[in-house]
Chains A and B, each alone.
Chain A
Amino acid sequence: MEKPLTSKLRPDGTAVDIGAYERAGGYQGLRKALELQPQEVTEIVKRSNLRGRGGAGFPTGLKWSFVPMKADAPRPKYLVANADEMEPGTFKDRVLMEGDPHQLIEGMLVSAYAIQADIGYIFLRGEYRVSAERLRTALGEARERGYLGGNILGSGYSFELHLHISAGRYICGEETALLNALEGKRAHPRTKPPFPQVSGLWGKPTIVQNVETLCNVHHIVQNGPEWFRSLSRSEDGGTKLYGVSGKVNRPGLWELPLGVTMREILEEHAGGMRNGLQFRGILPGGASTDFLVEEHLDVPMDYIQVQKAGSRLGTGTMVVLDDKTCPVGMVWNLEHFFAQESCGWCTPCWSGLAWTEKILLAMEQGTAQKNDLDVLKFQTRFLAPGNTFCAFAPGAVEPLQSALKYFNDDFQRHVDEKRCPWRQ
């Protein structure tokens, strides 16, 4: 099985340096791309059926095709790598950046060439200190070898790439809030439309793309869209980094064909539940996706099938709930995080999450009241997509709304018994 994203990773966890990267065929995708017309690169990516790996799953090539490409297009154009990986339970981009930083740089170079971007930023989560250090080294190496800067490899194309360390906030992972943060403004999401492709960073055409997505691009150009599609077991192309956390035997991260089933990941790769624990549910794509349960374990982990099952592929990094862990406590933990991270811009989000979190805590502390469950259900409807300014709050209540569906009895017991039944 081919693993284009992770095959070069070193077992000792050190970063692939430029020499090793080049010896393993690195920067060949870039060389090939520079021989193509920019629009040809976009076309190849379109045909590869690559979809965004950051959570929303928007088709990558289609996104690029909205960037103005005529001679009178506003300049400079920007490419931004969204490396603000803060979704609870998600740690896939970190592995890529720590282990193979050049892969991200090459992916960005090819993507930037496709949209003729002049300047790039890697917007990196503040806590990712190792990634920062390794990316900084890699950027220096790439610049030295002429992969970055003016007239790259004599092609006439120039691209400057900067590393920006985030001051830290979950909302900075929202692409338009990220752009505001990058501009030094408060990290509120922006109105869409206009989309960043038209008016993004500093009001110029901008593409924001998740790290994992970008890491695929030069492989696609090098090996062709058909190859990329063949890696996948679903309609959408490529492999996917799947992660599992929770009380399983071997929590971890694996590059697997897009569309393997949850059961396969959990049982074959994560080694099943720890002794004495029963599986109760799973957040398939990170903290802001709906719970799925036993009956969904054979759902292929791809964009369409997970959605059909009532959740989202999200980042593809699963969080497992077992029978010895209080689901209300787990949801409180998540909603506490989301309530903390609400940017405070729109009323439903800042007011709804604060209230939700307080009720969940009251349940855990045994002070819940009868109508609290109604209020929780009401909040999940209040924070539905379209009601809020951005997708943050609807995502934040996804684990809650599905927990209320699958674990309603557990919630009810908290209210009725005026205590958390999992606590002694």
Chain B
Amino acid sequence: MATIYVENEPQAADSSQNLLHVLLSLGYDVPYFCWHPALGSVGACRQCAVKQFRDEHDKAGKLVMACMTPAAEGTRLSIKDPEAAAFRAAVIQGLMENHPHDCPVCDEGGECHLQDMTVMTGHNAREYRFPKRTFRNQYLGPLINHEMNRCIQCQRCVRFYRDYAGGNDLNAFRLRDTVYFGRFEDGVLENEFSGNLVEICPTGVFTDATLKRHYTRKWDLQMAPSVCVHCSVGCNTSIGERYGELRRVVNRYNHEVNGYFLCDRGRFGYEFVNSDQRLRQCLVNGQPLEDSEAAAHVRTILRDANCIGIGSPRASFESNFALRQFVGADRFYAGVADDEWQAEVRAIDNLRKGPARVPSLDEVEHCDAVFVLGEDVTNVAPILALRLRQSMRQQLLRKANHANIPLWLDHAVRELVQDEKGPFFVAAPVATKLDEVATEVIRAAPDDLARIGFAIAHAIDNDAPAVSDLSAEMSALAGRIAAALRSAQCPLVVSGVGCRSVRVVEAAAQIAWALCKTGQQGKLAYCFPECNTAGLALMEPLPMREAFRAVHDGKADTVIVLENDLYGRAETDTVDAFFSATRHIVALDQIANRTTAAAEVVLPAGTFAETDGTFVNYEGRAQRFFQAFVPSGDVRESWRWLGGDLRPDQGVNGSRLRTLDEIVLAIGKKIPALAAIGQAAPAKSGFGKVAREPHRYSGRTSILANISVHEPKPPEDPDSALAFSMESGPAAPPPPMRPFFWSPGWNSIQSVNKFQDELGGHLRGGDPGVRLIEPSQETWSYFFNVPDSFRAEPGNWLLLPGFHIFGSEELSRHAPAIAQLEPRPFIVLNAAEGAPLGLKSQERARVRTGNSIHEFVVLLRPDVPAGVALVAEFTGYVSPGKCKLLFVDVEAEKAPIGPTVAYGVRQ
């Protein structure tokens, strides 16, 4: 720490930082554009000029750019200095030369960083009288709107897109005051983090194209703190509603989890909430029924039924718990395909019983050697992949330290480091996008991946079992990876259930544990496919096949399916058989699907935007999400159905589970190990009123005037301190309950500056979420079950699931913008094996596996291990494992895979 003098007042400052970072952290208002806490300084916009003085006698001083000046001990500066203030106003005046005066019709208006900074500098009169330069805008796909005339050339978009996220189809073109930020030609932005341009751009060049289709100003949104439902990372989001529709999702900063960025699935997947496929009414035998009658019908059914419950990894912890309570823990089943579930249970077990810590995303970024084993991280947990890209740079940043280049001096660091890569290894059956940052890439079938993992563990710790019959090449490879992990300060192993292999899951743990055993801080992270996979696993439900068996054996005759389409979890004939053997099927869900079609009773469940609950992310972090609005129709929380109306006593007596606080309390009582879930956010009683609506919310009194001129009373929220109102209590809400970031003068998303203990640091009051999983201090032992090497058998393939960011997640598929980007179902095969079958890459083939026929686009890749096939089938279920594939109707016709990139193929 250093002491610096701001307007002659001493202030404590982090001397490893630049002045802009320090001044903003101290709460001063200094305008800026090109700087970003996650991207560092490049000194382009010149907006953050302050006056620096040599010493207390220096009265003249000189202008310096705060972002480019280290906060060295004794630095004296003035923000208010008239020359500095005039210069900052002049910079805005320069930016405004070409910036159109279209704020009233600009999507960014009202939450525009450029507006905020313009007001901050005081520039308000226009002297420039010449024509503004204009551009032709590009079509950038269904997610992002492009309006280049508004550009102020701050360079942030390309710095994020290229330098931070690794994209290469967005760039700066031309020069002078006509620099153009766009693609070489019109087309869908390829990078899966393109949506962050909306927030990175300080003005309205890149805006949310989905919001544009149902536009609402930020100040007119009713907002709530939420958690993304589209993968297992659990990024914190702020969601906004108007007129009963969810309008958009923006990032809600959580230092430990998502930081500043979201993936495109998370940002744009929300539109499923507004889908016309939504279930909004109770259905009994396909006929709409009043909610009370439907509930009564269910109570009648259940009176003499033998009922089991099937939970869901995409339903909240509370809803799963309510079902578990409803049917009993011994009749509560995981609604997950068995092969996947097996791997997930083992993964959670490894995290709970082993010595390796699951890192938060922030910790991931600071790991300095990474081994990815058997997981397509980019397509399964995208934002984790974004952070892993940064961990690849950790060791290289030490070079900058050594060369006395401050780490925030972004371009200088990048020029020093160039294209060098830190230790980063990716081992997977097929190419993954992280390969491009890997120092070494390994292709192998799952069993061989596990063998490599076990061999690495053995190379780290001799006590871990050796792998027999390992080729010299693989031994050497294992040795190299082991050496890289051992010499790192913070090595990380990332794996997941993508290979549907318990052995891969074990091998990943084995490496991390071997590192822990030899005195290192080995870290271990597993990607799970869904937002509450970990939460469901912590509840220890029985595997799904046992549910099927229970019905088959006559031990149960009625099933309640919670927010789950079982046709995505097992082969069609298996599910058909299960349903036909069941007397009563009660399905609670949000969107109509094959399971709700098969159900006798369908009860409409609320989405994340309409309900409260908790998800447990890959890290074991329980995070609370809150409803943004009261849904129409009979839609309500699944836990409210199960905890109240459906119960024989309707939840009136005995164990009341009718409010969120009641159910959270009950979880703590029934599963004491998970009692901490209550700390994810304050209880309703624990806090005063928090407004969901900004104080500029307009139309409150007239919003329903077309129905009645009498202003209705705002709905009560029985579950949280959040109010459907503009009125807040006197105290500022704690981070988990903050619906949006706003501070006077800071209307854009960058207002988060005002809520952090330092810029880019923790939220004041603590980052939301509570970890339910910590490494065990107890004894553990290595796995000794090393698999044999995989042998390809002619005519037989090992089928593995393939993933795509757009398509592999059920709910986001119902968002129109995401649906447009979903690739056609595809199969990836070894090129040498596909060719003799008459298959050609990017042509269509109908493939019979088992009893079902699927149509796929064929992708032949030279590096897929022989005997392995990956299938990405987004609408149904393809059972993984060894099987015969029969290629029928190979069509010699180009079959475009879609507008996005899949396994390096773009159409």
Q: A residues touching B (Cβ–Cβ < 8 Å)?
A: 169, 171, 186, 190-191, 193-194, 198-199, 202-203, 339-348, 350-355, 358, 362, 369, 371, 375, 378, 382, 386-389
Contacts and interface: CB of A to CB of B under 8 A. Distances in A.
Interface in B703-730: none
A67 B128 CA distance: 46
7 pairs of A and B residues whose beta carbons are closest in the complex = A351-B94, A344-B179, A203-B416, A342-B176, A354-B177, A350-B177, A358-B130
Contacts of A202: 418
Size bracket, chain B contacts:
35 or more
B175 A347 contact: no
Contact of A347 (B42, B95, B128, B130): B95
B46 A389 contact: yes
Contact of B42 (A171, A191, A343, A344): A191
A346 B130 contact: no
B614 interface: no
Interface string B434-477: 00000000000000000000000000000000000000000000
B71 to A, nearest CB: 16
15 contacts: A171-B175, A186-B172, A191-B68, A199-B416, A342-B177, A346-B46, A347-B47, A347-B152, A348-B46, A350-B94, A351-B98, A375-B127, A378-B90, A382-B94, A386-B62
A345 B45 CA distance: 8
A130 B403 CA distance: 41
Interface of B: 42-47, 49, 62-64, 68, 87, 90-91, 93-95, 97-98, 127-130, 152-153, 155, 172, 174-179, 403-405, 409, 411-412, 415-418
Nearest to B47: A347
B94 A344 contact: no
Contacts of B90: 348, 378, 382
Contact of B175 (A344, A346, A371, A389): A344
A347 B44 contact: yes
A194 B403 contact: yes
A319 to B, nearest CB: 23
A387 B174 contact: no
Given A199-B416, A387-B46, A388-B46, 15 more contacts: A190-B415, A194-B404, A194-B416, A203-B416, A341-B176, A344-B179, A348-B46, A348-B94, A351-B95, A351-B97, A354-B97, A355-B94, A355-B97, A371-B127, A378-B90
Contacts of B47: 347
A343 B415 contact: no
B63 A346 contact: no
B63 A350 contact: no
A289 to B, nearest CB: 22
Nearest to A201: B415
Contact of B412 (A199, A341, A382): A199
Nearest to A354: B177
Nearest to A199: B416
Given A191-B42, A352-B94, A344 B177 contact: yes
A382 B127 CA distance: 15
Nearest to B49: A387
Nearest to B94: A351
Contact of B87 (A186, A190, A194, A382): A382
A348 B177 CA distance: 10
Contact of A190 (B175, B178, B411): B411
B205 to A, nearest CB: 15
Nearest to A369: B129
Nearest to B418: A203
B415 A347 contact: no
B733 to A, nearest CB: 37
Contact of A339 (B129, B176, B404): B176
Contacts of A362: 130
Contact of B409 (A191, A203, A340, A352): A191
Contacts of B93: 351
A371 B126 CA distance: 13
B410 to A, nearest CB: 9
Contact of A389 (B44, B174, B404): B44
B87 to A, nearest CB: 7
Nearest to A374: B127
B128 A340 contact: no
Contacts of B98: 351
B45 A347 contact: yes
A58 B23 CA distance: 35
Contacts of B172: 186, 344
Contact of B403 (A191, A198, A353): A198
A375 B129 CA distance: 12
B99 to A, nearest CB: 10
Contacts of A355: 94, 97, 128, 130
Nearest to B412: A191
B127 A387 contact: no
A401 B97 CA distance: 22
Contacts of A389: 43-44, 46
A190 B44 CA distance: 10
Nearest to A202: B418
A249 B45 CA distance: 46
A197 to B, nearest CB: 12
A343 B175 contact: yes
Contacts of A388: 46
Given A347-B47, A386-B62, A387-B63, A191 B411 contact: yes
B176 A354 contact: yes
B405 A199 contact: yes
Contacts of A371: 127
Contacts of A193: 405, 412
B436 to A, nearest CB: 18
A169 B175 contact: yes
A371 B129 CA distance: 12
Nearest to A390: B43
B15 to A, nearest CB: 17
Given A342-B177, A344-B176, A350-B176, A386 B64 contact: yes
Contacts of A171: 175
A396 to B, nearest CB: 11
Contact of A350 (B128, B179, B404): B179
A173 B416 CA distance: 21
Nearest to B33: A347
B183 to A, nearest CB: 16
B46 A347 contact: yes
A228 to B, nearest CB: 34
Contacts of A386: 62-64
Contact of A346 (B44, B87, B417): B44
A81 B61 CA distance: 37
A194 B405 contact: yes
A32 B152 CA distance: 55
Most interface-central of A171, A340, A341, A352 (chain B CB within 10 A) = A352
A350 B415 contact: no
Contacts of A353: 176
A351 B127 CA distance: 13
A342 B537 CA distance: 59
B415 A203 contact: yes
Nearest to A352: B94
Nearest to A180: B415
Contacts of B174: 344
B41 to A, nearest CB: 8
A415 to B, nearest CB: 14
B45 A346 contact: yes
Contacts of A350: 94, 153, 176-177, 179
Nearest to A362: B130
Nearest to B158: A186
Contacts of B178: 344
A278 to B, nearest CB: 34
Most interface-central of A186, A202, A340, A353 (chain B CB within 10 A) = A186
Most interface-central of A346, A352, A362 (chain B CB within 10 A) = A346
B425 to A, nearest CB: 24
Nearest to A359: B130
A411 B98 CA distance: 26
Contacts of B417: 203
B81 to A, nearest CB: 14
